[in-house]
Structure 1
Amino acid sequence: MGDYNTNQDGGCEEVLQGTVLIAGGGPVGLLLARVLSFYGVRSILFERNKTTTSWPKMDLTNARSMELFRKIGLADDLRRQGVPPHLDQHVLISSGLSVKEPLTRWDLPGVDKFRQLIEEVNDGSQPREPWQRMSQAIFERWLRAICDRDPLIDLHYGWRVDNVQETDDHVRTIVVNCDTGVTKTYVTDFVAGCDGASSKVRRSLQIPIDGGPIPACALLVHFKSRDLQRLHKQGRFWHIFFLQPHGGFGAAIIAQDEVETFTVHLFLPLDVDTDKIESKDAVYRALGGIYDDFHIEIDEILVRSVWRPNIAITRTWHGPHHRIFLAGDAAHQNIPTGGYGMNMGIGDAFDLGWKLAAVINGNDGKGLLTSYELERRPVAMRNVEHSGVHFKVHQDLEAIINGGDPKRVDATTEEGIALREKIHNHYQQHDGENKDLGIEMGYRYDSPVIIRDPGEREPPWDVRRFTPTTWPGSRAPSLFLSDGSAIYDKFGKHWTLLSFTATECGKDHMVHAALKQRLVLDVVDLSREDHARAIYEKPLVLIRPDQHVAWRAYSLENLETAMKILETVSGRVEDSPPIMKQQEHVACAFTSTSQTRSQVDEFSLERMGDFQR
């Protein structure tokens, strides 16, 4: 437990200096606490619910997120909680389970096959870790148990954050016990709002959020069934997307654990009274597709809810004094297609965590905290928009069928054959959902703590593929060295300087500069690694704690230059370039050209309007 005094009848609680107060005990808040602890920083977390979630929500921890879990030593344990690695994760597009075959399918590899691909394709284009399927309900229980055992993390479930007030040197947070109504005030150096889409932290700061729900709702039914013979009638699956009687996409089923747990999402018009739809009937209707209800044996209904897809971005992610920050759904919301929401939250938590820890520990400057929004918000804007792109792939089914009786898709007529071919081609040409590695791993940060050679042009970016490059701001390429070890496993806990040459290139200047600035720097000699040297492009490459490249060069001239480089990338430079100037080079998926932040906002909100209509 945290080393501070409590007052049972309310009052003000002054916690230890450097403690971070976290609002929200979902995956983002719990992971942030763990990242802070990894770097030796205390946190105190408040979650209004008494237990972790029962809702399935996220069901895929993507490859980039797994790399971050590997960094803090949790990847292998996480995998033990999830779907076994030998099982592939096929996605079916179906007109209903009463039909013998699906209309088409995406064949996605399980962990074992994905890992084999990573080992075979050693060109820097692959992630270090495969993805991992796991329901959020399991994910949260697992991560909470880890945090419960951590002496640097103090968890308070059944307490809600009611209000935050930021000053130039501290934050006052009011928390309320959800059972007794007892109110307490905590004074901390920093607060992280990881408290979801209805964030009290964001509301306290009166930060606007742009966007909102699209005109549809979904009835979610989470249930157990051992009737696998009927559920697997068209083959084992991870997802099945179903056509519905209106002639377009309207339902999905997700296999959560490959044993007995499933989730159905039945999309409905807003004016439907969902209270009149029984949970089992919703499952039968979804599985029936364009045909009559398809009945299965349901052993237990676990939970049910009605939810609306949202496309939204918070305008700013921090308070005016950079002591309060937003992360996860408090900062961005998206349609679930692509699985970006939870995985973006994981990225937020890691980025905010290492930066807060670096500032609290005195290793780095407050410019790092300014860089949090500058780096993460463009990623969220692009991914939120791209989740809508994936959703539209399914929405386009209605236009492909183009009216009439949708059962035509299964007819043996020429028209039926042609329709099935058209649907098949559509899905095979637009199969980026869970496969667009450019989106998941290829985001390139741009902020005052990234140093680039102004004479160099940015490498091409592809939504589908990760382009191996050490262009500063990029995620460093993952590959295996000549002895079979992974280059990522050579990276230090904090900062890492990779040296790909045995000749004098000035790396000692960087070492001396780090000592003078008390910056923890690991130096890795890779001078004999010809393959890695070709992919990493420059003899000297400086890697941040989050595996992104901060700076690179052919050589380093002197100690003074090395000092300036480290002062800049660690956020200690007071005269950083103007924020808008830095944002002019944000690489994002909205257009093929660079845009200022205001242009990105305008474009993104325009696309949000398209999806909402």
Structure 2
Amino acid sequence: MTGVLIVGSGPTGLTLACDLARRGAEVRIVDKSPEFPRSSRAKGPNPRSLEVLEDLGVVGEVLAAGCAPLLMRKYRDGTAIADSDPNESRRPTPAAPYDRGRLLPQWKLEEILRTRLAGYGVHVELGTEIVSYEQDGDRVLAKAAAGSRIEADYLVGCDGGHSSVRKLMGVSFDGTTHDTQLMVTGDVALEGPPDGGAQLTRDRWHQWFDEDGAVMLCPIPGTDTLWWFQAGPESDADGTPAPPSRESFQRLFDRHARIPGIRLTDAALLSTYRVNVRMADRFRDGRIFLAGDAAHVHPIAGGLGMNTGIQDAFNLGWKLGAVLTGQAGEDLLRTYEEERLPVAAWTLDTSSAGLAAVMEAIKKPGGGLDAGLTEETNALGLGYRWSSLSRRGTVASTTLQAGDRAPDAPCTDTATGTPLRLFEAFAGPHFTLLGFGEGAAAALKEVAEQAPGTVRTYPVDAGPHGGLSDDDGHARAAYGIEGDALVLIRPDNHVALFAAADDKDAVLGCPGV
């Protein structure tokens, strides 16, 4: 019997599988597709997802394979009228090292995550469609279309907006589908004058917005000739939106870009995107869970879709791992829905507002997709202050509350004299206990003895007790700590507790510790 059966091998399922596998959990991940899908619609991880990917140990590969977000070049009536940089005012800080997302095709991110997963000896099982399941108090028994059966402690549906797992659960998927808000998408190559002469360069995301429609072309990182193509669809004679095709893409491009001699070729991954705003009314039924698009779908404005799924998985992974290893009871799993359902609702509202802002902006020359991007869409401000896991401690921070995202900070390892960021200390399947000041030393020692392997302890500015030196005060500033105190960080890098320097019992009483 396996610990967790994951259905769906997109970014959500792969993130969950990697997180569970590194915890030593028995995990299987299946996908009904006979081969790995080459989906390009999602354009890359946002800053919060980059933090998750750093914790999983793959952010170096992600940064190398992708590129920084490109300037957006806006056109009207075929003429370039403005370049804009939605990230112009953003800079990395000691607390938030990723000030912007990374442009990266979804298929490449999936390749990186599959390679990481293979390092744990786990491989995606293709051509395996789950058609039914039974569950009782101890297990789930899933049946595949080919007749095989898979027995697991838990099953997680990460199988997209048309989720079979969600349908088998009987969970409602309430919301709306906007059939009048359509987009055709695909990957294309270009032939003709080299990238349209001086105009169609690969260092810009080109966006033509006219009164009668729109076309967008964005170069796909890691390729020399491929572009993401997005446009409002053509309509047939009866007003019905025409299905996407290379020929229709060419006509749309010629109408709006007006660049002679450019021919679109090798059109692939053609699809029609309808704006859906839907959310499951619950993310759990006993031993069955939903994550990612299986649990919520929303407009693409703000780029929150894939990223919200990655962050769902990061929240669920440590909780399943803690229960499977006996570090926590089943009650911990209740907090997945408690924490992530409100975030999903926020995502639907934020992306819908972003879409409305984009639709209004493109009515005016110079308006474009950047209207849907805000500081909120970085997802660095999302937390779980309302959660039952966010404990009111015996010390107050001047900047944060329990449940907030845990900030980064540059420190120095006093034993070696080498730099060590807090994110490097957090990385891995463990809680992290920061003990600020010499007064926290005794509590750190006792927690380390009573929760070995579960909590990793770090003295900060502890004098003769070693640990980390907060040379420039960035850690104290980020965590709002004055004097001596304990700060417990959850495995998904959210603050669990602020406590007095000698309050080890508060730390040891946190679920999962």
Alignment-derived partner of residue 588 in structure 1: none
1:341 is aligned to 2:305: yes
Q: 1:540 aligns with which of 475, 483, 486?
A: 486
Percent identical pairs in the alignment equals 24
Structure-to-structure mapping, 1:337-376, within 5 angstroms: 337-376=301-340
CA 1:265 to 1:185, structure 2 compared with 1: closer, same or farther past 3 Å?
same
Alignment-derived partner of residue 102 in structure 1: 81
**Unaligned ranges ≥5, structure 1:** 1-14, 177-181, 402-422, 460-468, 572-613
Deviates more, 1:536-545 or 1:220-229: 220-229
Alignment-derived partner of residue 474 in structure 1: 404
1:443 is aligned to 2:382: yes
| TM-superposed deviation, 1:327 | 0.4
1:132 is aligned to 2:98: no
| TM-superposed deviation, 1:293 | 7.9
- TM-score, structure 1 length as denominator? 0.73
Q: 1:498 aligns with which of 434, 441, 444?
A: 434
Determine which structure has the larger strand proportion and give its number.
2
Q: Quick one: distance in 2 between partners of 1:77 and 1:255?
A: 19
Q: 2:246 aligns with which of 241, 261, 279?
A: 279
Q: 1:308 aligns with which of 267, 274, 290?
A: 274
Q: Quick one: distance in 1 between partners of 2:431 and 2:100?
A: 24
1:571-603 per-residue CA deviation (whole Å, 9 max, x = no partner) reads 8xxxxxxxxxxxxxxxxxxxxxxxxxxxxxxxx
- Match of 1:201, SS state, is helix
Alignment-derived partner of residue 139 in structure 2: 170
Determine which structure has the larger helix proportion and give its number.
1
Q: Quick one: distance in 1 between partners of 2:248 and 2:315?
A: 44
8 A contact 2:394–2:500 mirrored in 1: no
Deviates more, 1:359-368 or 1:66-75: 359-368
Structure-to-structure mapping, 1:17-166, within 5 angstroms: 19-83=3-67, 89-96=70-77, 98-99=78-79, 101-106=80-85, 108=87, 117-118=91-92, 121-122=93-94, 124=95, 126-128=96-98, 131-151=101-121, 153-166=122-135
Q: Quick one: distance in 2 between partners of 1:389 and 1:38?
A: 38
Root mean square deviation of aligned Cα: 3.0
Alignment-derived partner of residue 223 in structure 1: 188
Q: How many residues align?
A: 489
8 A contact 1:511–1:521 mirrored in 2: no
Q: Quick one: distance in 1 between partners of 2:323 and 2:245?
A: 53
| TM-superposed deviation, 1:245 | 3.5
Alignment-derived partner of residue 508 in structure 1: 442
8 A contact 2:174–2:278 mirrored in 1: yes
| TM-superposed deviation, 1:221 | 2.8
CA 1:543 to 1:283, structure 2 compared with 1: closer, same or farther past 3 Å?
farther
Structure-to-structure mapping, 1:194-205, within 5 angstroms: 194-205=158-169
The one-letter code sitting in structure 2 at the alignment partner of 1:451 is R
CA 1:307 to 1:130, structure 2 compared with 1: closer, same or farther past 3 Å?
closer
8 A contact 1:254–1:262 mirrored in 2: yes
Alignment-derived partner of residue 193 in structure 1: 157
- Match of 1:157, SS state, is coil
Q: Quick one: distance in 1 between partners of 2:379 and 2:83?
A: 25
- TM-score, structure 2 length as denominator? 0.86
- Match of 2:107, SS state, is helix
Alignment-derived partner of residue 227 in structure 2: 262
**Unaligned ranges ≥5, structure 2:** 413-417, 462-468
Q: 2:512 aligns with which of 570, 581, 602?
A: 570
| TM-superposed deviation, 1:65 | 1.0
